Chains A and B, each alone.
Chain A
Amino acid sequence: MIDNGLLVQMILGALLGLSVYLPMAAGQLSLATPAFYAVGGTLAALLSTQGNAQSAISLWAVLGEMLLAGCLTAGLALLVGLPVLRLRGIYLAIATIALVEIVRVAILNLPFTGGAAGIFGIPQPFQKPFGYVLFSGALLAVCGWLFQRLEASRLGRSMAAIRDDELASRCMGIHTTRVKLTAFLASAVLAGITGVIAAHYLNTWNARQGSFDVAITTLAFVILGGSRSWLGPVIGGLLLTALPELLRPVGDLRLVLFGLVILLGPVFFPQGLITPALLERLGRWKP
Chain B
Amino acid sequence: MLRSGGLSPTDPLVARRRGNARLAAAVAGALALLAFLGRSSDPAAQRLNPEAPLTLGAALALTGNANLYGQDQRMGISLAQGWLEAQPHPRRVALQLEDGASDEPSAIAAFNLLIRRGVIALIGPTLSQQAFAADPIAQRQGVPVVAPSNTAKGIPQIGSFISRVSAQSSVIAPLSIDEALRREPTTRRVAVFFAQDDAYSTAKTAIFQKVLAARGLKPVSIQRTQLADNDFQNPITAALQQRPQLVVISAQAMDGGNLIRQLRELGYRGQIVVGNGLNTPNIYPICQRWCDGVLIAQAYSPELNTPVNLAFRRLFAEANQGRTPGQIAAQAWTAYQVVFEAIQRVQKRGGFEGLTLGEARQQLMKELLSGRYDTPLGPIRFRPDGEVVQGRFYVAKVRMDSTGRNGRFTLVREQELPEGTP
Contact = CB atoms under 8 A, between A and B. Distances in A.
A244 B106 CA distance: 9
Contact of A116 (B16, B103, B134, B199): B199
Given A4-B38, A137-B31, A245 B113 contact: yes
Contact of A248 (B28, B35, B39, B98): B98
Contacts of A282: 18-20, 22-23
Interface string A77-104: 0000000000000000000000000000
B112 interface: yes
Interface of B is mostly: helix
Given A9-B109, A152-B2, A280 B38 contact: no
B380 to A, nearest CB: 25
Interface string A128-172: 011001100100110010001001111001000000000000000
B208 to A, nearest CB: 15
Contacts of A31: none
A140 to B, nearest CB: 8
B78 interface: no
A29 to B, nearest CB: 23
A229 B132 contact: no
Interface in B41-65: 41, 62-63
Given A116-B202, A255-B63, A202 B105 contact: yes
**B28, B34, B98 — most chain A CB neighbours (10 Å):** B34
B72 to A, nearest CB: 16
A141 B154 CA distance: 38
A145 to B, nearest CB: 9
Interface stretch (A20-28, A177-185, A187-195, A271-279): A271-279
B137 interface: yes
Contacts of B159: 54
A121 B137 CA distance: 11
A231 B20 contact: yes
Interface size range of chain A in the complex: 35 or more
B14 A254 contact: no
A203 B137 contact: yes
A5 B42 CA distance: 12
B128 interface: yes
B337 interface: no
Contact of A280 (B16, B112, B136): B16
A252 B99 CA distance: 8
Contacts of B21: 148
A67 B41 CA distance: 31
A11 interface: yes
Contacts of A151: 17, 20
Interface stretch (A32-40, A57-65, A204-212, A260-268): A204-212
Nearest to A234: B27
A224 to B, nearest CB: 15
B349 interface: no
**A11, A118, A154 — most chain B CB neighbours (10 Å):** A118
A129 B98 CA distance: 21
Interface of A is mostly: helix
Contacts of B18: 282-283
Contacts of B132: 117-118, 120-121, 203-204
Interface in B194-215: 196-199, 201-203
B108 interface: yes
B230 interface: no
A284 B134 CA distance: 47
B41 A152 contact: no
Given A7-B31, A137-B35, A252-B62, A203 B22 contact: no
Contacts of B14: 283
Given A116-B196, A153-B1, A7 B108 contact: no
Given A116-B197, A116-B199, A3 B116 contact: yes
Contact of B20 (A5, A148, A157, A244): A148
16 contacts: A2-B37, A3-B116, A116-B129, A117-B203, A121-B132, A121-B136, A151-B20, A203-B136, A204-B104, A206-B129, A207-B197, A230-B20, A282-B19, A283-B15, A283-B17, A285-B19
Interface of A: 1-7, 9, 11, 54, 108-109, 115-118, 120-121, 124, 127, 129-130, 133-134, 137, 140-141, 144, 148, 151-154, 157, 202-204, 206-209, 229-231, 234-235, 238, 244-245, 248, 252, 254-255, 274, 276, 278-285
Given A120-B154, A148-B24, 12 more contacts: A1-B38, A116-B197, A121-B132, A121-B158, A127-B140, A148-B17, A204-B104, A231-B23, A254-B99, A278-B19, A283-B17, A283-B20
For the complex of A and B, the 5 pairs showing the least CB-CB separation, nearest first, are A283-B19, A282-B19, A283-B15, A279-B19, A283-B18
